[in-house]
Amino acid sequence: MSSNFELTVSRTIPASRKEVFEAWLSPDALQRFMCPAEGMSVPKVEVDACEGGSFLIVMLVGDKEMPHRGEYKTINRYEQLAFTWVSEHSMPGSLVTIDFKEKSPSETEVILHHVGFPSEESRTNHEGGWGRILETLGSQLG
């Protein structure tokens, strides 16, 4: 069942590993490539590029702002980047891990893995913790 909530997407990017890695931590680059579609924009990007630091990417669709937040868990230049990914009202425990593999000095393979439940969530896997979360969610639904 757990594999149902994981996905992997990969792509070969025509740039050096360093360049591709840094693009993920650059507000300017993120503003460009995190824009989901034409007619949408990314008016705000904030990045605190250190492990434990957080980021905010605001996407704008019409007049609706969609903030995406997360915290950097791993910044291992230029091999691996991992951050939590939370968008409004979506599931609170998701983790994105990106591996950067050098195919040639000017070609980098990016392997992005998005998991629905990061391990620290699974570790709090006892009745009490989940009971409380479900109660909170239940009151929100009601």
Please report, as ranges, the residues that interact with other proteins according to CB under 8 A.
1-2, 4-5, 7, 9-11, 13-15, 19-20, 23, 29, 32-37, 64, 88-93, 110, 112, 114, 116-117, 121-122, 125, 127, 130-131, 133-134, 137-138, 140-141
The label of the residue with tokens 């990106």 reads 98
Residues ≥6 apart with Cβ < 8 Å to 81:
21, 24, 25, 72, 74, 75, 97, 98, 100
Q: What tokens were used for 141?
A: 């639904």
Smallest distance from other proteins to CB 54, Å: 19
Rounded (5°) CA angle 40-37-24 = 95
Phi, psi angle pair for 11, to nearest 5°: -155, 145
* Closer to other proteins by Cβ: residue 7 or 52: 7
* Closer to other proteins by Cβ: residue 52 or 123: 123
- CA 79 vs. chain centroid, Å, equals 16
Smallest distance from other proteins to CB 107, Å: 10
Smallest distance from other proteins to CB 106, Å: 9
Smallest distance from other proteins to CB 46, Å: 18
* Closer to other proteins by Cβ: residue 52 or 138: 138
